[in-house]
Amino acid sequence: MTAAHAVPALRHDWTLEEVNALFARPFADLIYQAQSAHRAHFDARDVQLSTLLSIKTGACPEDCAYCPQSVRFDTGLEREALLPVEQVRGAAQRARAAGATRFCMGAAWRSPKDKDLDAVIKMVQAVKDEGLETCVTLGMLKARQAEQLKSAGLDYYNHNLDTSPEYYEQIITTRTYQDRLDTLGHVRDAGLKVCCGGIIGMGEASGDRAEMLRQLANLPEHPQSVPINNLVQVEGTPLAGIESIDELDFVRTIAVAKIMMPASYVRLAAGRETMSEATQTLCFLAGVNSIFYGDQLLTTTNPAHLKDLALLDKLGMRPEATPKYSDIGPGETPSAERAPQAARV
């Protein structure tokens, strides 16, 4: 690669004015810039498939206004205790057979107790034994807990910022923005890869979306995975009935995320169930290269996996095989080299 065609260095010094200017670009120019940034780091045909399993459902003491698992809201959700390890292993086996390469586990806790963490560590090890990358989201972590998870072989830890610091208290009052940043710091310091993004369509202004992405991109290291969720409105939560975000504004958010964090996987997460194939296609053009795959996302539905595979095939895209850089450390840039690709569906 010549110096004239060198990949630009990743930035951590974005100003809000710069981010707002990206959002204001003509749509076609923005998509072109995002796709170009994406191709500098990834094969544009590849889409990483993740499966998400709720390993402990409901009765969360937090008051996140979007979440049906909060004990404060009456959403009709049945509480479920922590799943047995063998049930998690079976779910991982099914996910792998369906083509997923990453298995994510979520528990509705404010933060895990040590005895709970011991059980989760056994789940992580069981999923690793099935040849899958692992990710968990368990709420706030102490430094030693992050180190325990790293020692157990965990690959990713998910902890979203959700929105901008300015809008945050309109959505959550039971933990602070700094609490979230502290957990991300513990995760990075332990050597775990970070999965961190946000939720769009919670009544925030466009400037809040810009500031959320600025917060993410200006972290000491870019999150290796950036999930962008489109709010799934659940009856009984405070955000039920709120005006939905315009689909093109959602796509713009994806594109700006990719431009600012081009070496990160940008995941189309919750909300795909209501998206048309055309909207999802625009998201792929904007730089999405990871999706949650399967019929369920914690407590909300998701497009059936065969439907997802059919769309990828229609677009000439393909599930990403387990990459050769699966052991890549935080802060490193993925190589363009890939393991042999999985068979096209």
* pLDDT tens digits, 171-219: 999 989 999 999 999 999 999 999 999 999 999 999 999 999 999 999 9
- In this prediction, the residues of the chain whose per-residue pLDDT falls under 70 are 1-6, 58-59, 71-78, 294-304, 322-345
Separation between Cα atoms, residue 309 and residue 342, nearest integer Å: 12
Bridge partner residues of 193 (DSSP): 156
pLDDT value of residue 62: 81
Residue-level pLDDT at 328? 38
Q: Which of 175, 180, 188, 195 is catalytic?
A: 195
**Nearest-angstrom CA–CA distance, 220 and 213:** 14
- Residue 165 CA to residue 185 CA, distance in Å, equals 17
Q: Distance (Å, rounded) from C-alpha 184 to C-alpha 190? A: 10
Residues 77 and 57: beta-carbon distance below 8 Å: yes
Other beta carbons within 10 angstroms of residue 73's beta carbon come to: 21
Contacts of 259 (CB under 8 A, 6+ apart): 22, 30, 33, 34, 37, 287
Select which of 102, 180, 252, 267 is catalytic: 267
Confidence at residue 38, expressed as pLDDT on a 0 to 100 scale: 97
Task: Respond yes or no: is residue 64 known to be catalytic.
Answer: yes
* 196 has catalytic annotation: no
Residue-wise pLDDT for 87-112, tens only, equals 999 989 988 888 888 999 988 787 88
Question: What residues pair up with 268 in beta bridges, in sequence order?
Answer: 228, 291
Measured between alpha carbons, how far is 117 from 145 in angstroms, rounded to an integer? 8
CA distances from 74 to 139, 171, 215 (A): 21, 17, 32
Residue tagged active-site, from 102, 104, 209, 318: 104
Closest CA to 64 of 12, 150, 137: 137
DSSP 253: H
Is residue 60 among the annotated active site residues?
Answer: yes
CA nearest neighbour of 48 among 265, 196, 222: 265
